[in-house]
Structure 1
Amino acid sequence: MSDLLDTIPIENIFRLAPGHNEAIPLFMSPAKAGFPSPAEPFIEQRLNLHDLCVPRHETAYFVKASGDSMTGDYIYPGSILVVDSSVDVDSGKVIVAAINGEWCVKRFVRVDTNLVMLESSNAAYAPIYVHTGDQFEVLGVVTYIVSRPPRYVRPS
């Protein structure tokens, strides 16, 4: 089962540490791919990523992703997921869940009242079906993804 799940080690799941949030400069000018204007490098305000990405600190977790089963949703190995346990789990949302004791990141799809499908966004991984009797626990819904840009591979 763990080959299908692309599991997350339990040590990659973190509670948020309250009070560790520092504001960083926010440049309101859009990033341009062309020639930048020399008159635009002024900080207009400061932005705190906790305030932007974590509206409810008491129900939030950080989860470090592993594996490549969710790359179609821009979740790469090492991506930091902001997970909120207070958000309703609806069909189509990306969640962090444990199935039979193994943690994973998958898209939640309710097939019918007795059947849930956990879907990867990488075609190399088959969907996983959660049946009555399986141990199934949802940590929360992924609300933000913090990642480095994917590595460029030059086409041959």
Structure 2
Amino acid sequence: MIDKIDPIPPENITRVDATSRPLLPLYSFVVQAGFASPAESHIERRLNLQDLCVNDTDCTYFVKAVGESMIGDYIFPSSILVVDSSVAVESGSVIVAWVNGECCVKRFVRQGKIIMLESSNEKYLPIYVHIGRDQFRVLGVVTFIVSKPPRYVRPC
């Protein structure tokens, strides 16, 4: 059974809109943890986020994450996941899956005939999928994560 805090509601799933592609600037310098040179701050070209993150618009969609079960993989509440259904699922892939009527994001781990959907937050137990008994379908592999940086909490 999937934790009730964790499922992705259907309204959080959005198809890629290939017709709306505003271009954003891509600067030709790399970001360092020191001081940047003002001479390096020129635009190399304009870049669309879909051009960077989407290989196949017919097989890619966006999903807004909820819950905290995947924070170890930098998937936070309200992160936007880029999900590609044409990418082959391998053991260790982060996937969006349909399990017993609910949609979730988990790490896919196959061990022989057993499929384990693993959270990356130790507070959440894995989900074991029993083939033939559970309804299970992989909807796609998470290829990119778009999110705000985590909020800094100063240690006491």
TM-score by length of 1: 0.95
Query: Could you list the runs of 5+ residues in structure 2 that have no partner in the other structure?
Result: none
Once the two structures are TM-superposed, the CA of residue 5 in structure 1 deviates from its matched residue by 7.1
Amino acid at match of 2:108: F
Correspondence list, 1:12-91, <5 A: 12-91=12-91
Once the two structures are TM-superposed, the CA of residue 4 in structure 1 deviates from its matched residue by 6.8
Q: 1:66 to 1:9 in 2, by over 3 A?
A: same
Q: Which residue is 2:10 aligned to?
A: 10
Deviates further, 14-23 or 80-89: 14-23
SS of the counterpart of 1:81?
strand
The yes-or-no answer on 1:141 pairing with 2:124 is no
Once the two structures are TM-superposed, the CA of residue 47 in structure 1 deviates from its matched residue by 1.2
Amino acid at match of 2:25: P
**Conservation of the 8 A alpha-carbon contact between 2:5 and 2:67:** no
Distance 1:54 1:26 in 2: 17
**Conservation of the 8 A alpha-carbon contact between 1:4 and 1:126:** no
What are the Cα deviations for residues 75-127 of structure 1, in whole angstroms up to 9, with x where unaligned? 000000000000111110000001101110000011113x2000000000111
Distance 1:151 1:8 in 2: 22
Percent identity, aligned pairs only, is 63
Once the two structures are TM-superposed, the CA of residue 36 in structure 1 deviates from its matched residue by 2.2
What are the Cα deviations for residues 40-70 of structure 1, in whole angstroms up to 9, with x where unaligned? 2211111111111001000001000000000
**Conservation of the 8 A alpha-carbon contact between 1:14 and 1:63:** yes
Q: 1:79 to 1:141 in 2, by over 3 A?
A: same
Distance 1:4 1:117 in 2: 18
Distance 1:125 1:4 in 2: 12
Distance 1:5 1:102 in 2: 12
Distance 1:67 1:5 in 2: 6
Distance 2:125 2:58 in 1: 34
Aligned length, in residue pairs: 155
Distance 1:4 1:88 in 2: 28
